[in-house]
Each structure stands twice: as structure tokens, then as C-alpha cells.
Structure 1
Amino acid sequence: MTKTITHYLIIVITFLCFSCESKDQQNGKLSLLIERGDYSVASNMINDKLEDKFLTEAQRIEFLHQLDMMRRIEREFSLSEADVIDHLSEYFGDSTTFYMPKWEEDKSLEFRLINGQKKYFKNGVSNLFRVNEFAKSRKEKLKGEYVDPLIAYCLDHTTELVKKTNGEGELINPVNNVFDYTIKLKADAVPAGETVRCWMPYPKENHARQQNVEFISINSEYYIIAPDSLPQRSIYCEKIAEAGKETIFNVKFKTTSFAQIFFPEQMKMKEYDKTSLIYIENTKERAPQIVFTDRIKKLADEICGDETDPLKQVDLLYNWIDINIPWASALEYGIMPHIPGYVLDNMHADCGMQTLLFMSMARYRGIPTKWQSGYMLHPGLVNLHDWCEVYYEGIGWVPLDQSFEMQKSDDQYVRHFYKTGIDAHRLIVNDDFSREFYPKKNWPRSEPVDFQRGELEWNGGNLYFSDWSYKMKVSYE
């Protein structure tokens, strides 16, 4: 009897092990399919798995997430090879197909293999003219040199700010801003009668540079303004979807924003108190974005060498990124597992990506940094924007905007303005990245790192950016 039971248990255990191994093999095959871009086959496999009535809720959510991620990537890489050739032929004629493999190899022209075809980043052509010097010079030769209105405005504006400041971090140049923010969910994006949950950006109040935050109105009877203590602040509301109609969310509020400038030679720093909470929290890793990989550590050490002064190290790191990592339109952050790693692979980045690389290297070198983001509000140039703050013992938090770069000026205060200063044209929504909302979101976010455009969901899942539009209107009193 004992032998029979033992034999039976061995059979059961063997069967269970075989079943587990079979599932592992299937999951391994699925991962391989996704990794090599065979999305159609992978999607069919996942849809088959979703029919399994023994699937756990966690497994179901994971499979749905994989489907969603493939759709997001396909949305980003939407240009065909023919599309790219058509766009570039204006500048390179019949030589376009000669140059393209070179640009693909050096990652000036970003693509992925999806379902056996090359698919190019939707902004890949415009990025090529930003990051590749040969392509850029060819375009300038045919179209003339492009003058960036933001760079021109900031140069003039910061020149005037430098004349007004004492360079000791005083708040100057107050600007009264009135915001009118709207999100429009496409008609019939969700079934009629379903509740749409919406989180819109709302200003932080615990900043000297952002004062007089005033709520004006919202087009919903039920809403929640998240506590200011939350690093990513939102205003939450709900609406019932109606058949054939857009679901519209709108909020209005005010702020007063200030410029702040520190002149480096007037910054009397003390030695860091490495036991303080500020130091510990803001020099540590925050996976998956701030991770001290071997590559990050090696690069930071090569840039800074034996330098130990925090301000000089910040200067060295800022300069290296400014020179080597040109600004370019970014993929959605949600499809990049480790953004600083992506930046070093591709050697271009947008504002937030440059900032995360800077923060990673600075934190590794023992310099406290903190993410900050929201909107830039320069007249006629309102847009999403990310920057950060650096903590100096004895001084406090000092703003730094990596993507606003070193300016072309003989005045050193103007040239290096954004290393230790910031203009007043900012809306601060976030003091960190990848933090929970209030109330908590049930489904994965469209943007898991930053929060500027908003987030929507319903009982059936997340509502991605392709399902809705947003518009920020800003006026100045």
C-alpha cells in the first residue's frame, strides 16, 4: 500500500513538473517572439492563453499588459521604409537608400523589426536632422539654418534676469499664470453608461518658486484634489460616457511663478551630512530608472575624475551631456525599461531622458538630486517639460535644467544660467517620478514615469493616449 501511494505521488509530482516546464517553455517562446518583434504570432498566442479558464487574475493582467505594450510600440514605430524614403528623398535624392543603412547602424535613424518588416520611429525623420550632423547640414543647405524660437527667447530673457538678480537665490520676476486644461476622450471609446475616471495635472504648493495656487473650476460635480504631499499631484474627477459624444474634462486654476538664480561663486556650500534623510533619499537608486549600472558608474567617473567639489562635478556632468547628448523627440517613456541606458545606447534624448541620465550619474557620485516636471510656459511655446533640482548643503535645493543647455553668450552668468538657475515660466506638477496617484489608479498608466498630460481609465482597462487628446491654454495676468 505504501509503495502504491509513493508511486502515485511520484507520478503526480512528475506530471506537475512537466506541466510547469511546459508553461515555462511556452512563456520563454512568447518572450522570444516579443523580443524579436513577431507581434502578430505573439498576440495570437496570448489571445489563446486568455481563453484558458484556469488562468489566474495575475496571469491575465500580465498577458493583457504584454498585448498593450506591443500595441504601444507599434504606435511609436509607425513609419514604413517607403514612408521614410519618401520623406528623405527631398534632401538626398537617389542617395537616400545608400545613406539609410549607415544611419540605422549609428542609430541616427531609429527603427525596429516588427512582424518581419522595418518600422521606423514616427518622429525618426525629424530626429535624424537633429542628431546627425551630415543630415543636419544638408537640410540647412537646402532650407536655411533653423533658429529655435525657444533658444532665442531664453537667451534674451535670461540676459535680463541676470541683470536683476543678486545671485543669491532670491525670487524675482513673478508671473501670474491662468491655466485652462482640457482632455477630450473620443466618442464611443468606452460603452455608453460606463464611468470614465480621469486624473489631470494640478500644481504643487510647497515651492517658493510657485505660489498663490488657486483652484477656479472643474466641469464635474465630483472631484478630488490630491494632497500636496504627494510627489505627483493631480485633480481627479469622473464622468459617465454618452453614446456618440466626446467625454470632456476641464479644469482651471492659477499660479504665481518666480525665477531663481544662484551665482556659483556666491554659493557657500558645507560638507554633506550623509546621515540626513535628504541626502540618503536623494542619492540612492530608484529602479528601474535610476540604477548605478557599471556603464553609468564608469562614465560618471571618467567625466568627473578626481574632482570632489559637488558644484564642479555638476558642471562637468552637465557639460558632457550638453555636448554629447543632443535633444531629440522621445519614444513614450512607458516602452523604455531603463531610460538612461537607452540614452547611452542611442546618444540622443529629450528633456526628461537627459535629466534622468544626469540624476543617475550625480547620485552615483554622492550628489543629491530630485526630479521636477510639469510644463514650460514661455509665451507662445507652452509644452511638457522636465528638469531637476540639486541639493547643496548649506544652500538647499537649486534648480537645474539640463535640456536648456549652455547658451551662446559671452556673459558667463547667462551662458551657464540653467546650471544653477531657472526662469519663471514653469508649472510644477511633479517632485518625483513614478509615484502613486490619489485616488489610486486601477490599471497600468499610459505614462508610468512622468505625469503631465493626464491619465484615463474605465472599468474595462486603461485608456491610452491614442484614445484621447489634451490641450493646455495659458494666459498671463
Structure 2
Amino acid sequence: MSMNQNDDIRYLDIGLPEDIARLKAIGDFENAIRLIDMRLSDPKTTAPLAACMRVQREIMLRLPRNYPYTFEAAMARIHEDIPDFTEDEFRALEDINRIGWIFVNGERHYFKRFHQTLLKTDPAYAKRANIQDTGTSQGEDKPTETVSPLERAMNIMRERGSFGARIRIRASIRIDDDAFIPGKVVKVHLPIPAKCIQQSNIKLIAFSHEPKHICAEDAPIRTVYFEEKLYENTEFFVEYEYDNIAPYCDTCKLIPAAEQPNDFDTQEQSPHIVFTPYIRELVKELSAGCANNLEKARNFYDFVTTKVMYSFMPEYFCLESIAEGCARNLKGDCGVQALLFITLCRCAGIPAKWQSGLYAASKDVGHHDWAQFYIAPYGWLFADASFGGSAYRAKNYPRWNHYFGNLDPYRMIANSEFQHPLDPAETFWRHDPYDNQGGEIEYADAAIPASKVTTHEQMIDINEI
């Protein structure tokens, strides 16, 4: 096994021994971890299984903070937003998998953001909570806006063939005061814009501290790295600007080449981009009658955007078999939906890959993920399933069609590969071992839980170009 424990992630889908798996299923994490520690000290335990168990051990340490609410606490939480919300409503939503839960010591515990999912994705619940604006981080329009920025961008892209913005952002990360230990060396990675199809003219303007390393502009997961001994708690920040030019294509008018490449970005990538029996059967069903790869990719996009309901998710470290889980459970956030689309494409022999960073409009900056897929002779096209799904649910079919093949200029792209190591690599478990949108921070000799870290992204300036 590698010296970097984050490399253990690729062994996650090996699975746990049956006794430990049963303890995990009922939420007896204490005894499950005890047995894992016993097996890890047993010389008969193989290296791949040991790697899987080390990851599962960390998952079990994180799960309780992702599912903190008992039923009574969950009802109290939703009553803060909707006072007349009933127990019958709650149970009905459980039955249709709209409220996530796990067992913790044999008792159901509910997902910490279940109420936010309901309020964001169901207008009836938002109305009962007197919420007028559910945000735009997944492509929704603000009711206070006379003209939607996304609608305007889409129209300009169609007219001009592209549309761009010059964007300036300040991103920061800070250890919470109750977790700060004076005199320790702190190691920090903050994501910064990477050179890619859409992005150019990148400038790093200001830093809180002198960087120890800045990744190359075309790095698959681009960061600025700081390493400082801190005696007083302080934030680390970077300020940068860049151009994002979103190209436009009308996928209805594209004529794919007769021969399509399949020798890059079509491989499996354990534990989440895996061609399971269900994924293979789903690809077969969705590909039936398709004349070319573009039609297949469109069917995959339609499946994700029309069948999968947007849902906030536990931290990705806690998820197993993300793509298949999305296909089976029909729910997921932007990254989960992107991974399902990528996996379906790759299983069908269509090159597909990850892109992520920020959605960065004038008044709204948030973490976001989407996908790319390759169609010769046109090259890399884009698919934003969560924005497309939001448009579909709003019956905005032109926008739904737009996000198959296109994006918008309101993006900051830091990452072009999923599950890629940081440079330099972290010593301890990453907050998110698959992606990097808000940054990573650790002590030189100890991990810092994500729950003890605050990240922030601020729009400084944005201008059309």
C-alpha cells in the first residue's frame, strides 16, 4: 500500500468482513471499529482488505456527525422552519426516501441537512417556511430578479457563439478557535483557477502568507499551498482573477464522426466510477436505438436530469459506490449526478471526465461540480446535470437543453480530475479525498476535522467581456 493513506480510498469497494458489516449496518460503530482494529493487527489480513477497513473506520467516525438527529430532534428542527409540519408528513417522506437516515446504536438518526433539501427542492415546503429565495447554486432563478443571469448568458451565447466574464474572487480557510493549537505547523491547500478550455488570463493577486508551492496552471487539481507555524489563529486566503469564456454549441445540429475515440477517459476508477452489473444494464437500456455516441450521451443526461432528484448529501468521504447509488436511489447533489453521467458515458465507451470548482455569479458564489464528455470532431462538450435538472423541474426546456453541451461563464474551474492527489500530498485523511473546492487544512502532526474548519469564497468583482 502507498505511504499516503488517502490512496486507500481506491480499495473501498472491496467491502467489509460480514461481522463488521453487520455491526456497521445497525450503527454499532464502537464495536465495528474495535473489530477493525483487531483485524488490522492480524497478519492474516491482506493489504487490500486492510486498506478498505482503514477507510471504513474513518467513515464510521464521520457518520454520526452527518446523521445527528433522533426523530424527536429532527421534528424539532423542521418545526423551526415549518411549525405545522406533522409526524405523518415526516414518515411519508421517509417512506419515499426523501429524508435520509442511518442506524446509530440501533436507533434511526437523520441526515443533518434533510430540512434544507426539502426547502430547496419542494416549492410547497419553501412556501410554508416563508422562503422566497432558495438560492441559485443549482441553477434556480431568484424570484427578485427581473432578468435571470443564466437566461441572459444562454441567449448571448446563442447569439455570439460564446460569452465571457472577468471574475475576481477571494477564498479563505480558517481553523475554528476551539480547535486551534498554538505553536503547531499548519499545512493548507486552497483551490485556485486552472488553465482549461474556458479559463485563461489567470492572475494570483494576493496571499495571506508566502506560498510554499503553487501548482502549474494546467494541474489536474490546482492549489496554492501554505505551510506556517502559527502562534495566533488566523485565516489563510488567496485572491485571484481570471477570464472565463463559455463557448456555445447547438447539440441538435452536431453530426458526430463515424469513428469515435475510446482510448482515453473511458476507464473505471474505483471506488465510485465502476461498471457494476446495474450500471451495465442501465447503459444497455438507455442506449437502445441510439445511432451514435451523442444520442447515447443525451439519453444519459435525460435520465439523470429527469429521474434524479436534487438532494444535499453527507460528506463524500462517507459515500460508497456513488454513481450506482445515485442510479439506484435516484437522488444526489451536483457531484453525485455528474459522477453518474460520467460513469454511464465511460461504460458506453464515451470519454467523460470531471470538472469542478465554484459557481461564481455576481451575488452568489458556491461549490459546484459538473461533467465533460468527448464527441469527435467537436472535442470536449459539457453537461451540468444539476442545473439541467433544475431547469427541467421548472419546465424551462430551452435551459434544460442548453446544459447538455454547454455551461455558462459564471464558473471557477480548479479541478479537472476526480480523486486526484493534492500537490504536495496531505499526510492525514482529507476532508474530501475526491475533490477540492473549499480547501484542505491539517496540522503537520494531526488531522483537523472538517467540522472544525470554516471556508469562505467572496466575489470581489465581475465584468462581462
TM-score normalised per structure 2: 0.83
Corresponding residue of 2:425: 440
Corresponding residue of 1:299: 282
Percent of counterpart pairs with the same letter? 22
What is the DSSP-based 3-state SS (H/G/I as helix, E as strand, rest coil) of the residue aligned with 1:98? helix
Corresponding residue of 1:280: 263
Are 1:466 and 2:456 an aligned pair? no
Gaps of 5+ in 2: 1-15
What is the DSSP-based 3-state SS (H/G/I as helix, E as strand, rest coil) of the residue aligned with 2:263? helix
Equivalent residue in structure 2 for 1:385, among 368, 377, 398: 368
Are 1:237 and 2:222 an aligned pair? no
Paired letter, 1:178: R
Q: Spell out, residue by residue over 1:306-360, the C-alpha distance to the aligned partner (whole angstroms, 9 max, x if none).
A: 2132222222221221111111111111111211122233321100101111111
Paired letter, 1:253: Y
Question: How do residues 36-435 of structure 1 correspond to structure 2 at under 5 angstroms?
Answer: 36-43=26-33, 66-88=56-78, 93=84, 96-128=86-118, 136=122, 139=125, 142-143=128-129, 148-150=134-136, 151-152=140-141, 156-165=148-157, 170=161, 172-187=162-177, 189=179, 191-205=181-195, 207-242=196-231, 245-274=232-261, 279-405=262-388, 407=391, 413-435=398-420
Taking a change above 3 Å as real, the CA distance of residues 145 and 124 of structure 1, as seen in their structure-2 partners, is closer
Using the TM superposition, give the Cα deviation of residue 166 of structure 1 relative to its aligned residue in structure 2, in angstroms.
Answer: 5.6
Using the TM superposition, give the Cα deviation of residue 303 of structure 1 relative to its aligned residue in structure 2, in angstroms.
Answer: 2.3
Taking a change above 3 Å as real, the CA distance of residues 251 and 34 of structure 1, as seen in their structure-2 partners, is same
What is the DSSP-based 3-state SS (H/G/I as helix, E as strand, rest coil) of the residue aligned with 1:449? coil
Are 1:455 and 2:451 an aligned pair? no
What is the DSSP-based 3-state SS (H/G/I as helix, E as strand, rest coil) of the residue aligned with 1:79? coil
Paired letter, 2:283: A
Taking a change above 3 Å as real, the CA distance of residues 252 and 55 of structure 1, as seen in their structure-2 partners, is farther
Choose 96-105 or 62-71, whichever is displaced more.
62-71
For the 8 Å contact 2:75–2:87, the answer to whether it is kept is: yes
What is the DSSP-based 3-state SS (H/G/I as helix, E as strand, rest coil) of the residue aligned with 1:221? coil
Distance 2:220 2:207 in 1: 22
What is the DSSP-based 3-state SS (H/G/I as helix, E as strand, rest coil) of the residue aligned with 1:179? strand
Choose 153-162 or 196-205, whichever is displaced more.
153-162
Using the TM superposition, give the Cα deviation of residue 225 of structure 1 relative to its aligned residue in structure 2, in angstroms.
Answer: 0.5
The CA RMSD over aligned residues, in Å, is 3.3
Distance 2:227 2:412 in 1: 24
For the 8 Å contact 2:275–2:343, the answer to whether it is kept is: yes
Choose 102-111 or 403-412, whichever is displaced more.
403-412
Number of corresponding residues = 436
Using the TM superposition, give the Cα deviation of residue 433 of structure 1 relative to its aligned residue in structure 2, in angstroms.
Answer: 0.7
The higher radius of gyration belongs to: 1
Taking a change above 3 Å as real, the CA distance of residues 336 and 351 of structure 1, as seen in their structure-2 partners, is same
Gaps of 5+ in 1: 1-25
Taking a change above 3 Å as real, the CA distance of residues 264 and 54 of structure 1, as seen in their structure-2 partners, is closer
Corresponding residue of 2:7: none
What is the DSSP-based 3-state SS (H/G/I as helix, E as strand, rest coil) of the residue aligned with 1:262? coil
TM-score normalised per structure 1: 0.81
